Amino acid sequence: MKVYLDNAATTPIDKEVLKVMVEVMENQYGNPSSIHSHGREVRTLVEKARKTVSALLNTAPANIFFTSGGTEADNTAIICAINDFGITHAITSNIEHHAVGHTLEMLEKTGKIKLSYVNIDAKGNIDYQHLEELLQNNPKTLVSIMHANNEIGTLTDIERVGEICERYEAIFHSDTVQTIGHYPHDLNTLKVHFIVCAAHKLHGPKGVGFLYVNPLTKIKPMMFGGAQERNMRGGTENVYGIVGLAKALELAYADMGMHQNYIQDLKNYMMDALKNAIPEISFNGETEAEKSLYTVLNVCFPKMDMADMLLFNLDINGISASGGSACSSGSNIGSHVLTAIGANPDNPSIRFSFSKFNTKAEIDFVVEKVKEVFVKFG
């Protein structure tokens, strides 16, 4: 048996998404910037996709800009906000995805901004009172706080963060890559200036995403070279990807509650099974359903003599999981998230992340192999 439990890194594409993408690939090959009929037909597909996305998020189509994915969207929001609004101070957490953390660190190193970090606790929850204190002392600030952590799954109350930011006239950007398509986002009421999406996190294609820009927040383009995306992003649109993104989000919203209940049940089932198999294990981050991303479970194992063999042996047994965030895979540097929450470096951790395609039979198989490997190397 082969089991894929690395859905926080990327998800398998939904067959219905692939179907609509193939139809476009085979029949709609015009450049959407061309004025002839072939181009106009493809332009219609792009704008129809934009309307689908915006309707699901309860915002206007003009506020959605298609990108190559979450990293580009994060970079655009952060860099353009700082450059265009003359921002000299930013607040973030030290468990953000590198698309955010490294971007802000670069801006600080080049003298663009001063960077402050909001306190977090041992489960990855931000200190909202500390955030407010930082904002009191630093007007005209950019706040960049993710909705759900990609490694440990801890959720942040971005509604609360948005309300705090509004009180101090701060610009609020949230990396929502792990939660778009998994939780509803009402952008008509959410007090946020930028959120982002990567289609491959919700059973869509890789290489496409979007940036939402609040209509009251006007930024200049970061990429030049053409008038695409209403002069905000030069470059021929990834039409097949955009169509696939819209279809994936449409499917996600159609059955969101059902999928959430199903996947949460899988997560709870695996937590119980692991504890029964290896009582010494614990879990990193929040595990309560209302505080934790239901697709992610980060398991902390007891100290092992050959900890580096744990993930390797799971792979040999056909089980795909992750020792950290996908962007750090293969790196000898430990997880910055686990370091930030004070996890013991002697205890190996594995992130298992689920999708609607996983089953309890797969969970049983994984837990059995985890126990076998742990007994062998523990």
pLDDT digits (tens, 9 = 90+) for 236-288: 999 999 999 999 999 999 999 999 999 999 999 999 999 999 999 999 999 99
Do 231 and 288 have their domain in common? Answer: no
Do 161 and 124 have their domain in common? Answer: yes
Do 181 and 265 have their domain in common? Answer: no
Q: What distance in Å separates the CA atoms of residue 268 and residue 270, rounded to the nearest whole number? A: 5
Would you state the pLDDT for residue 329?
Answer: 43
Would you state the pLDDT for residue 373?
Answer: 86
Would you state the pLDDT for residue 328?
Answer: 40
* pLDDT exceeds 70 at position 327: no
Do 146 and 159 have their domain in common? Answer: yes
Helix axes 256-277, 360-377, angle to 10 degrees: 30
Q: pLDDT-based confidence at 325, cuts 50/70/90?
A: very low
* pLDDT exceeds 90 at position 173: yes
Residue 357's domain spans which residues? 3-12+255-377
Distant-in-sequence, close-in-space partners of 329: CB < 8 Å, separation ≥ 6: 9, 322, 323
* pLDDT exceeds 70 at position 97: yes
Domain boundary among 254, 277, 297: 254
Do 213 and 300 have their domain in common? Answer: no
Strand partners, 89: 114, 141
Do 212 and 347 have their domain in common? Answer: no
Residue 327 annotated among the catalytic residues of the structure? yes
Q: What is the DSSP letter of 30?
A: S
* pLDDT exceeds 60 at position 79: yes
Q: What distance in Å separates the CA atoms of residue 242 and residue 296, rounded to the nearest whole number? A: 26
Q: What distance in Å separates the CA atoms of residue 301 and residue 285, rounded to the nearest whole number? A: 14
Would you state the pLDDT for residue 222?
Answer: 83
Do 187 and 175 have their domain in common? Answer: yes
* pLDDT exceeds 90 at position 378: no
In contact, 215 and 62? CB cutoff 8 Å? yes
Q: What distance in Å separates the CA atoms of residue 233 and residue 274, rounded to the nearest whole number? A: 47
The number of distinct structural domains making up the chain is: 2
Residue with the two structure tokens 């937590």:
271
Would you state the pLDDT for residue 306?
Answer: 63
* pLDDT exceeds 60 at position 289: yes
- CATH number at 63 reads 3.40.640.10
Strand partners, 198: 209
- CATH number at 320 reads 3.90.1150.10
Q: What distance in Å separates the CA atoms of residue 56 and residue 226, rounded to the nearest whole number? A: 28
Do 142 and 59 have their domain in common? Answer: yes
How far, rounded to the nearest angstrom, does the alpha carbon of residue 77 sit from its chain's CA centroid? 15
Catalytic residue, from 165, 197, 300, 327: name it: 327
For residue 325, the number of C-alpha atoms closer than 13 Å in the C-beta half-sphere is 21
Classify 197 as helix, strand or coil.
Answer: strand
**pTM of this prediction?**
0.95
Q: pLDDT-based confidence at 307, cuts 50/70/90?
A: low
Please state which of the ranges 85-94, 161-170, 264-273, 343-352 shows the lowest mean pLDDT. 343-352
Distant-in-sequence, close-in-space partners of 332: CB < 8 Å, separation ≥ 6: none
Do 211 and 331 have their domain in common? Answer: no
Domain boundary among 206, 235, 254: 254
- How do residues 196-238 score in pLDDT, each as one tens digit? 999 999 999 999 999 999 999 999 998 899 899 999 999 999 9
Do 330 and 361 have their domain in common? Answer: yes
Domain boundary among 227, 254, 281: 254
